């Protein structure tokens, strides 16, 4: 766990969140400022700052994250209509929490391009 990382603290249950899925590698919880009817954040338990700091050792973890995201989309009943997976990176990408995460957004028609 990285010091002062809010998502490490969520993964460790040191601060409260609404967890919707957990296994040995990842935790998924509800975003506390939802941008869509379904807005879930999926994080690795291991602290990784950004997508840029991923290494080849993380290949299996990243594949697992996509599979869990797809499973959550089915569970949340948004798989058929569609949804979006987003990972923001650094300043121009709009990343505000520097622990790798995927946003799972759905439940409404999402516009493109993003702002």
Nearer to Zn ion by Cβ, of 12 and 81: the residue is: 12
As measured in angstroms, the least distance from the Cβ of 49 to Zn ion is: 8
Q: Does residue 53 interact with ligand AMP by CB under 6 A?
A: no
Q: Which does 94 bind (CB under 5 to 8 A by kind): ligand AMP, Zn ion, none?
A: ligand AMP
95 binds ligand AMP (CB under 6 A): yes
Residue 80 or 91: the one with the smaller Cβ distance to ligand AMP is 91
Q: Does 32 bind ligand AMP (CB under 6 A)?
A: yes
Residues 99 and 35 sit within 8 Å (Cβ to Cβ):
no
Q: Which of 8, 17, 38, 44 binds ligand AMP (CB under 6 A)?
A: 17
Q: Measured between alpha carbons, how far is 112 from 110 in angstroms, rounded to an integer?
A: 7
Question: Is 64 one of the annotated active-site residues of the chain?
Answer: no
**Rg of the Cα trace of the chain?**
14
DSSP for residue 3: T
Distance CA 38, CA 76 (A): 8
Residues that bind Zn ion (CB under 5 A): 2, 5, 7-8, 47, 99
Burial class (CB in 10 A: 0-12, 13-18, 19+), 40: buried
């Amino acid at each position: 766990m990285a010091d002062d990382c809010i998502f490490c603290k969520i993964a460790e249950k040191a601060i409260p969140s609404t967890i919707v899925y957990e296994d040995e590698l990842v935790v998924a919880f509800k975003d506390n400022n939802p941008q869509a009817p379904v807005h879930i954040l999926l994080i690795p338990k291991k602290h990784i700052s950004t997508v840029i700091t991923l290494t080849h050792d993380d290949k299996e973890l990243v594949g697992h994250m996509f599979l869990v995201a797809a499973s959550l989309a089915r569970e949340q009943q948004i798989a058929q209509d569609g949804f979006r997976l987003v990972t923001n990176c650094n300043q121009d990408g709009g990343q505000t929490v520097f622990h790798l995460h995927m946003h799972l957004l759905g439940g409404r028609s999402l516009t493109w391009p993003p702002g």
